Chains A and B, each alone.
Chain A
Amino acid sequence: MLRFLAKRLVSGLSLLFVISTATYFLIYSSSSNIAINILGEGATPDQIKLKDAQLGLNQPLTTRYLHWLQHALTGNFGISWINNDSVVSEIARRLPVTLTLVLIAIALAALFATILGTLAAVRGGWIDKCVQIGGVLGFAIPGFLLAIFLIEFLAIKHHIFPATGWVKFGDSPYNWLRSITLPIVSLVLATVTSAAQQIRSAVKTVLERDFVRTLTSRGLSRREIILRHVLRSAAPTGLTVLSLQFIGMLGGTVIIEHIFALPGMGDLAVNATTSSDTPLIMGIVVFTVIIVIIVNLVVDLLNGWLNPKVRVQ
Chain B
Amino acid sequence: MKLKVAMQRLLKNPLGLFSVIVIGFVIFLAIFGNLLSRYNANTPDILHISQGISAKHWLGTDSVGRDVYSRLIVGTRTTMIAALLVSLTAIVIGVPSGLLAGYYGKKIDAVGSWIANMLMSLPAMIVLLSVRATLGSSIYMSMLVFGIIIAPGFFRLTRTAVMGVRNELYVDAARVSGLSDTRIIVRHILSVVRAPLIIQIAIVSGIAISLQSGLEFLGLGDPKMVSWGVMLNDGFRNIYIDPTLIIWPAIAIALTMASLVLFGNAFRDALEDSKKIFSKAKPDALVAKTPILQHSGEHLLEVSNLAIGYPQANGELRQVVRNVSFHVDRGEVLGIVGESGSGKTQTAFSILGLLPSNAQIVSGRITFSGESLVSPETGKISDSAMHSLRGKKIAYIPQEPMSNLDPNFTIGHQLVRPMMKVLGLSKSGAKAKALSLMQTVGINNPERVFASYPHEISGGMAQRILIAGAVSCEPDLLIADEPTTALDVTIQAEVLDLLRNLQSELKMGILLVTHNFGVVADLCDRVLVMQNGEMVESGNVREILKSPAQGYTQELLNSMLVDRTPLEYLTQAKGA
Residues of A within 8 A of B (CB): 15, 18-19, 23, 26-30, 33-34, 37, 124, 135-137, 139-142, 144-145, 148-149, 151-152, 156, 208-211, 213-221, 224, 229, 232-233, 244, 247-248, 250-252, 254-255, 258-259, 266, 269-270, 272-274, 276-278, 281-282, 284-285, 288-289, 292-293, 296, 306-309, 312
Contacts and interface: CB of A to CB of B under 8 A. Distances in A.
A140 B254 contact: yes
Contact of B253 (A142, A217, A218, A247): A142
Contact of B261 (A30, A139, A210, A247): A139
Q: Which 6 pairs show the lowest CB-CB distances between chains A and B? A: A219-B391, A251-B125, A140-B258, A217-B396, A218-B418, A251-B123
A156 B408 contact: no
B126 A219 contact: no
A254 B132 CA distance: 15
A23 B130 contact: yes
A142 B249 CA distance: 12
Contacts of B125: 250-252, 254-255, 266, 269
Contacts of B126: 250-251, 254, 269, 284-285, 288
Interface in B214-243: 214, 217-220, 232, 236, 239-240, 243
Nearest to A259: B236
Contact of B403 (A211, A255, A277): A211
Interface stretch (B26-34, B114-122, B442-450): B114-122
The secondary-structure label for the interface of chain B is helix
A23 B122 CA distance: 12
The secondary-structure label for the interface of chain A is helix
A18 B118 contact: yes
B423 to A, nearest CB: 9
B65 interface: no
Contacts of A296: 121
A26 B418 contact: no
Interface of B: 118, 120-127, 129-136, 203, 206, 210, 213-214, 217-220, 232, 236, 239-240, 243, 246, 250, 253-255, 257-258, 261-262, 265, 349, 352, 354, 356-357, 387, 390-392, 394-396, 398, 400, 403-409, 414, 417-418, 421-422, 453, 455-456, 466, 469-470, 473
Given A284-B126, A288-B123, A306-B408, A145 B403 contact: no
B134 A308 contact: no
Contacts of A232: 406, 408-409
A18 B117 CA distance: 13
Given A140-B255, A142-B257, 7 more contacts: A145-B254, A148-B239, A224-B421, A269-B126, A289-B122, A292-B121, A312-B453
A258 B232 CA distance: 13
B352 A217 contact: yes
Nearest to A28: B134
B406 A278 contact: no
